[in-house]
Structure formats: structure tokens, C-alpha cells
Structure 1
Amino acid sequence: MRFPPRPRKSLAGAVLALGLGAAALAPMQTATSAPAPSPVDGVYDVLGKSWGVSPAEAKARLDGEHTKAAAFETAKAQLDGAFFNSERQLVVNVHSARAAQIAREHGLAPRSVARGEKALAKLQSQVQALADKSGSLQVQSIGADLPTDRLQVVLQPGKQSAKTVALVKQLKAISGVDVSTNDTTLTMTADVIGGQIMDLVPGTNCSLGFPGTRNGGDNVLLSAGHCVEGNPMIQNRSGVRLGVGVASRFRTGSPSVDMGLMDIDSNNVGRGYIDNRNGQTTRVTGSSKAPVGSTICKAGNTTGWTCGTITQYNLTVNYGGAGGSVTQTSGLARSTVCTEGGDSGGAYISGTTAQGMTSGGPNDGHDCGWNQGSNATGSYSFYQPVVDAAQYYGVTLTTS
């Protein structure tokens, strides 16, 4: 479910009850505020505590993931998708002996598959067309699952309508498609310092995302589209204006993409790090789409610093909204990171590499706690990959 922006309350209430998303935004600072703290990459401390290892060992594990991901990027033209397995091997799909050899030369684990990432993408387009044509309003999400090499279609909970029953019959006849029913609905999550509150005027809240520049130096912030739909004025927790929403590809009730843009006022500064919400910050050194299975963390104003792994890319999700509206939202990634309402728009990061901004998650009353790292388990979230948003809007992320 999309985490919609929540009504803005008193300042104290706003800090606790943000409206959307799980990821925290990259830090911004007003021209009149104190100097920004130096980033110390606090991601490793919290991950180390979650995993029961030292910060140095946590950093070594993440560095190992990134080294393998870089090797995959070098050889990906010959391969067909990749994911980390439970032994932290980066498994890659291949369709020939030559491709398998290339994978091994790069330290990757090849496996031969019936479909692979490209075929699953084509199958997803076919299934999405059938779902759209069916008229069913009970399809919750459609997306590829690389580890199983199958397409997953998830339905809303509740009794199936006649249109849904007919659609399910069609889908079960297609090789490689799994159909299941979720037990909960989905909802969207709703200074400039990543992970801090994004106070929207009028009346709702999100979390901040990633600052950057475009059009020759214009300072902007990449956010979840539903946070800046309608171009709201945006403040920090102290009521100081940060900027204004200027673009959103999210349209409630219409096929959408959950990416948007805030223009940062000239007297404010976007910073190349995020607030871990634990007294530390983490640098942003670049951006990527890390392989499925990669470790990822997010900073959000409601739940702080929580971590998990990437599970899927290119999902199409149907978010329920006010008045029974349904917003079909495409291009999302899914992770096991726990989020709650008020985290939306916030920043996901793998090590120091930006990954995305919180979009939404299950509306099941779960409690992530605060700053629980990888211990905030039992839930999942959707996020908008930052690479896609930056490319669409022509934004260069601010790094440090």
C-alpha cells in the first residue's frame, strides 16, 4: 500500500507521524544554520550491531558485495540478471557455455535458466496487458522474482470478483507465472538532511530524499512523486522553508511512476550525505541499482535506520487510496527493509551508494521500532530507484 502523506500536526507530532515513505533524504542545510557535520559513515556501526560483528567486519561484508556487483557490471552484456544467494555469492543467469565461462572469470557463480531477466521482463509486459484488459481491481503487484526465475502476481486480500477469477484462470495457464493472495493491503509512505522530516504545506509530511543539481547548477531534491504531487511548499522540522515541489509523475487514480522533484531555495544547500538518525551521517559517493540480495538500509523520520536486502526490481504495484481510488505505480523496487507511514521520500543506501526513495509498504499495523537496523524484521517496502529518477529528470546527485 502507498503510505499517503499524513495530516501535519503540531511540531512534536509531525516529527513522530510523518506521512510517507521509509527512506531518509540526503541532508540539506539552510544558509543560516550551523555548519553541517562531517559524515562518518555510521551505516557500519548499526549494521555491525544488527549482524553481531564489528563495524570493520560489517564494512568488509558490504565492500565484498560491492566488488562483486562491480564485476557483474563489467560483464553484464553477456549475462542475464544477477542476485546474491544466502552464501553471499553473486549468482548470474547464463544461456551458453561461453557466458558461464565469462561469469567464472569475473568471480561470479553462473547458473543456466529457462527464462532470465530479459524473458521475465517480456512476460511481465504480457501479464500486465492481460491484467489491464481484465478490468480486475484486485491485482496488487506484478514483478519478476530472479532467484526462482518466475513472474509473481500478487492479489489483494478478500473474495475474488468474477473478473479476477477469469484473470487468474488465464494467468495459471501461462508457464512461469505464479499467482498468490496477500493478507494485507498496501499503502504509501509520505531539512534538507536525509532521513529528516519533509514538512509539506498544506498539512502533510514525508521524509527527505537525495539532493542534486540539474540545468547548469539548479539545486533540487529527488523525492517520491506522491510526496510532491500538487507542488507543495516544503519546510524542515523548525518550520524553515526549504523549497517547493516542482514536478511529479505520480497522479492519484491514474497509471503513475512514483518519482518527483523539489526545487531547493537558493539560500539552502543540499548535502551529499544522509542522516542516520542515530547521531551519525553517511556519505553519498554515487548511485546504482545494486543486485537483488544486496544489503540496503534506509533512514526515515518515523522509523529511523532500518536495513534488509533488495528482493525485486521493476514491480508494478496497485496502491489503494482515499475514496477507493487505485493508483497503478510502475518501476518500483522491493526490499525487506521495514518502513512505516512518514518515511516516504526518504533515502535508501547500500554502503555509501544511493539506491532510492521510499514509496510504500503493507498496511498491516506492523511496528518497525526505532533505529533497529537489520533487526527491524517482519515487513517489506517498495522504493523508487534513484538511478531511474535522476536519469528522467537529468539530475546529478550531490556526493561527498
Structure 2
Amino acid sequence: MSPHPRVLGSFAAALLLVGAAPAPGVAGPPATTAPAHRAAPADLPPGLVEAMRRDLGLTAAQVGDRLRTEAAAPAVERRLRAKLGPAFAGAWLPTDGKRLTVAVTDPALAPVVRAEGADVTVAGRSESTLDAVKRALDRRRARAGSRDIHGWHVDVVSNSVVVTARPGATAAATAYVRASGVPADAVRVVTSPAAPRPLYDIRGGDQYVINGNTLCSVGFAVVGGFVTAGHCGRAGSPTLGFNNVSQGTFAGSSFPGDDYAWVRTNSSWTPQPWVNSYSGGNVTVAGSQDAAIGSSVCRSGRTTGWRCGTILGRNETVVYPQGAVSGLSRSNACAEGGDSGGAWISGNQAQGVTSGGSGNCSSGGTTWFQPVNEILGVYGLSLVTTGGGERIVSNWNNRCIDVPNSNFSDGAPLQTWTCNGTSAQAWAFTGGTLRTQNNKCMDVAWGSTANGATIQIANCSGNPAQQFVLSAAGDLVNPQANKCVDITDWNNSDGARLQLWDCAGTANQKWRRG
């Protein structure tokens, strides 16, 4: 081990390893909507109920009803889209959220819609026609001045394409539509004073830029911003995100003595309970419980990505050239310049942010991190978390979907087991995927759509074999196959394997979140 550990990125120039210039990082995943909860309203997260009551004007009972309807709607829409073919003209939930409405261009197909339990309306233009109008506008988008025109979209409810413009720019928008060569009666121009702007996710391990020239890594998202290393910037220093877009300002910083800071971000950035795994996915953050010495721990940073080791010590004092820092934890996970401030996580529990180290990721080394709970306490911050995992319980026998022997290896087949509250039975509903606490995803083996295909865990990739939705009817459906997760051969014992099978509405295919 080198006798002179150094901080891995700093505002000081001497003896510090920092990036020389801003470079684009990896963008966070798109915002998504979590699958609906099928439990009674009293079991819904209080914040969700309160927000929906406030923003949608619903009662608590209506919240539960609406969420159950919303869970089933995508499956109904998918089936009708296939059955109606070119006569399909769009689908939506009306403001009361009670029943899916489907538009058709052929009135004779109304019974097909009603047979699926949806309401029907007749429209003049098909979805494919409206999409063609939008594509024609898209082809000329370079000529749509952002000062006058804010954007355009297909509006299935009005059966038209809507072009949004600033007040006073209706004539400019109309001229743009005319120049695009689309039927004028298929387009509506509306005005809005608010111009759109991009929004971005705050994710642990992603790059950010300080004062326009120093590179560090995000630690963990907190309400209002993120935590990071103090040596990365002084209070008041401005930051840019991974995409070099204005991000925020250091609201507090301490170094040396300590090595922590937090950045207050602007409204373009949304804190997320994620850490970049640098393999195309995210590790979710459920809390910040300190792991024991000897525990495995992994860190994420913009220079060397995702690296793992074990925790070797806590409450250590390290003497950097800039001064001593106390209270650090030590690990044999390597790090290099620019990784400073990045996230350290054990399982799904946040541990700290990268401070400094010796060695590198070619020859190995020692790295110290600033414990995250101290940062949260000093600044009175709240870590953004998933709140932990949820169980997926069989309605038939009350057993849980389980990773056998907590073996989170790629390709491990799933089973049902007596519910026991372990991490092997904890799942996070994230953007259509079901993730374990070790960042593996529920997966159909080999992407198969055949009956009998094994349900397993695999490295998260976001492909269709890893998409599942829990409907209001309790079906755990893979949309790619339009088939259900099934307890093989009605095995009612611990260790029963799971398979993909035609949805039959049988008890061995019924599930709930619990």
C-alpha cells in the first residue's frame, strides 16, 4: 500500500487525480410508472394515497379502485389492438378512471371491444393514420422554431394531432402544419405559455462537473439533491450534470477534517433511489444501515465504473497532503481519479461516498469512503430510497416467490417457498421489471414464449423477457408472450418451480403483493 493516500478528485491542483475536462456520462433510465397495488386502500403507501387525493380529487376508496383498473388496462388494450387491426383508433382511461375506452373506425367492431370489458367509441381516423400525420410533422422538425412551437403529439381522445405553440404564434404553427403537407382537419393548434425543458435523473455513480473543469461522481440522491465528497467542491461551487447541463450548487462542504458535501440541485433534476451499475442497469437503494466489517461492498464511479471488495475497517483517520480526515471506512475495492464522491453500497444499503485511496484498478489498492449516515445527520438530509422490497405471494397457497438458497447467480430458477422476510423474497417493481435486492431481474429463460419456459433471475437488461405486470385480476403476465407465471404442476410444497403458461385464471397463477 502506498504510504501517501490521495483524494480521488478535488478543487486543489497539487497531487490530486481529477478529470481534465467535462465528458458526457451515462443517462439515467426514463421515468416510469410502477405497477398498481392490488391491496386494499388502507395498505397503499400513505404518500401515494395523499398525493392522488390531492392532485386527482379522489377519495381513498377511489384511489384503490383506480389503481386496480389501471393495472388491467394495458393487457386489455394489447389484446384489442391485435384483434381490431387497422380499425384500432386508440385507447384511454377517462377522467373517472373506471373503465378503459377504446376507439374504432368500424362500428361493426363495437361488440369485440365490449366483450373485453371496455367501453367503445367510433372515431374518424385510425391510430395508424394519426401516427402518419405525426411522422410527417416529425420529418420537418428541424424547421419548427422552438421559440414559436413547443411540440406536437397524437391525442387519441380528440382523434387528432395536437400542435402546441406559444400564445400569439398560432399563425406560425398553422403555417408549419400546412408546409408539412398533412390534412388540416387532422391537426389542432393549441397555445401554452410554458415551454418544455428537459428533466434528468440524479443517480449514484454518475459523473458531474464542478466549476466547469473538475470531474467527480454523484454519491446518493437525497431530497433536494445529492451527497458527495467534500474535496470535490466548496460551498457555492456550481455543478453541471453528466450531460453538461446546469445541475446545482454545493450547499455545504467540509474538507479536510471530514470529507463530505451535498449539492442542492435545480428543478431539472429528479433524485432517484438508484446507483449506476455500469452494466446497463441500476442497483436500488433501500436504506443506509451500516454493514459489518468483512461485509462485501461495491462502489460506483465515473472513471472505473462498478468495483467491489470488502469492508476492512471503520472510523479510521487518513492523512492526505491537504490535511487529515477522520471517521473514514476502509475497503480493498479499487478506485481512481474522478471516482471521488461516488456511491458505496452493500446489498441494497447505502454505505458512503468515495474519499481517497492508494493504488489503482490495474494493480489494486486501498480506498476510503466517508460514511453516508454522518453526512445525512450533519446536513439534516433524507436519503431517497425504494423503502425496501416487496413480497410476491401466491393467492393459492400463501407462499412467496423465492430465489433458492439466496443464490443470486445469473440463471437461477425461481421457486415458491414459505414466506420468511429474507432478501431472497424481496422484489422491487421498477419500470415494468421485477428486481431482486441484488439487482437481478425476473426473466423468462432464453426469452422463450413457449408454455413451460422456466422463470428465473438474470442480469437486468430491460429486454421483453424481463417485463412483467401484475394485473388487477392477480395475473403476473409477461407481455411479450401474453402468458402468466404459473406454479408448475400445481405443486403445493416448498421448492415448487415456476414456469410460463397460458393464462387460465387458475389458482396456481394468481398472485398479490404482500
TM-score of the pair, normalised by structure 2: 0.38
Higher relative contact order (CA 8 A, sep 6+): 1
TM-score of the pair, normalised by structure 1: 0.49
